[in-house]
Amino acid sequence: MRLFAATGNKDLKLIEGENSASNELIKLKVSLVYPTLADLSVFEGKLSINYPRVPCRMATAVVSDDYPEFGLKLGSRVLINPYITPVVDEEENYSDVDVYGIAEDGFLRDFVAMPIDNIIPFPEEVKEDEAIFADTVAVALKIINEIKPEKGDYIALIGGSLLMNVTAQLALYYQAIPIVISADERYLKLAEDAGVYYTINERQEDVIRKVSLITGGRMADHTVQHALDNVTPGFAYSLAARGADCIIAALNSAYIPRQEVDIGLVARKNLTVKGVSCGVTEYNSAVNVLAQKIVNFQGFIDKRVPLSESQKLFEELCESSSLYVGAVIEA
């Protein structure tokens, strides 16, 4: 067994040893790993957690043995649910959700043993390159469920990211009208290829004016801004119609870049602002979205490295987190 543990000082320490997992756990061969911004923050030592810590929560795997009592066969392809044990109140408003890679060791390794509750087989028609983004779909579903768009609603999606791309595609599925805004042409092209009609390059166009023209002057009924370093702060409010709802989104709450904005528009426009940074309640629904082929993942992955090159990839992503659209590690 090989795993890479972050020391908290921009270093991944290789640890090798025997797999001594409990017989109550399901043994898996990790297949594909997708590092996120939270994983980079673990690598850089930005989080107040116990180090060393094995990063990465988004992974696919293959079952390493037969488990007839659970209907799992040797070689079955599975998703690993990244949420440990969520604390959910009566109204399903989670108060605290731990994930692997942050609260406990994650999946930057070749083998892992997991509880059966964290293992979800995915249908044969679902490709591994699609399944790896299940949690991204789950967070996007949470965003859609928070804003509850109606047919014909305009949704301004701010920030070049795969999360905003998936949210745009789900908006189309629910017959809303997404407007994708980014300074990165790669994400605008991905959105257009997925059927999004309105895209705006914020470096080349007056974004506020363009959104006003698209919406007939009323501005967006809903805005969603991905909390990233390379996203213009304040668009979530300036592009919103009066009385609109605004979502500030992240794939995980462990690390969110600091952003300073003028919140005066929130009061003047009577906006409702919410945060979304967890897809725990939507994870099973996300698997159904994968099976139904609602989201087009073509072009999401533009970099692949073997497990042995994890250190180099993490160093590159720390220099520029937007260097690749989607970089994955083949374990």
Which of 32-46, 90-104, 128-142, 283-297 is least confident? 90-104
State which residues form the domain around 108.
2-132+301-330
Which two three-digit tokens encode residue 288?
């159904």
Query: Domain for residue 288, yes or no?
Result: no
Which two three-digit tokens encode residue 264?
């005066």
Query: Domain for residue 195, yes or no?
Result: yes
Q: What is the arithmetic mean of pLDDT over 112-119?
A: 94
Which of 17-31, 62-76, 277-291 is least confident? 17-31
Q: What is the arithmetic mean of pLDDT over 132-140?
A: 97
Paired residues of 129 in beta bridges = none
Q: What SS3 state is found at 165?
A: helix
CATH code assigned at 98? 3.90.180.10
pLDDT of residue 229: 83
Q: Supply angle C-alpha 159, 160, 164, rounded to 5.
A: 75
Q: What is the arithmetic mean of pLDDT over 263-286?
A: 93
- How many domains are there within the chain? 2
Q: Is the pLDDT of residue 86 over 70?
A: no
| Strand 327-330 relative to strand 26-33, pairing | antiparallel
Q: How far is CA 271 from CA 89, 216, 263, 265, in A?
A: 26, 20, 10, 8
Same domain, 179 and 252: yes
Same domain, 151 and 117: no
Q: How far is CA 224 from CA 160, 193, 230, 261, in A?
A: 12, 20, 15, 15
pLDDT of residue 224: 97
* Mean pLDDT estimate for the chain: 93
Q: Is the pLDDT of residue 262 over 90?
A: no
Same domain, 171 and 91: no
Of 6, 3, 2, 1, the residue nearest 254 (C-alpha)? 6
pLDDT of residue 95: 53
Report residue 301's pLDDT band, with 50, 70 and 90 as the boundaries: very high
Question: Cα–Cα distance between 237 and 233 in angstroms, integer?
Answer: 9
Report residue 258's pLDDT band, with 50, 70 and 90 as the boundaries: confident
Report residue 255's pLDDT band, with 50, 70 and 90 as the boundaries: confident
Same domain, 179 and 231: yes
Q: State percent of the chain over pLDDT 70.
A: 96
302-313 residue pLDDT tens: 999 999 999 999
Same domain, 128 and 14: yes
pLDDT of residue 90: 46
Query: Domain for residue 292, yes or no?
Result: no
CATH code assigned at 212? 3.40.50.720
Model pTM score: 0.95
Query: Domain for residue 237, yes or no?
Result: yes
Same domain, 57 and 155: no
Same domain, 90 and 203: no
Q: What is the arithmetic mean of pLDDT over 69-91?
A: 82
Paired residues of 157 in beta bridges = 180, 224
Of 147, 148, 152, the residue nearest 176 (C-alpha)? 152
Same domain, 145 and 220: yes
Please classify residue 11 by burial: count the beta carbons closer than 10 Å to its beta carbon, then call 0-12 exposed, 13-18 middle and 19+ buried.
middle
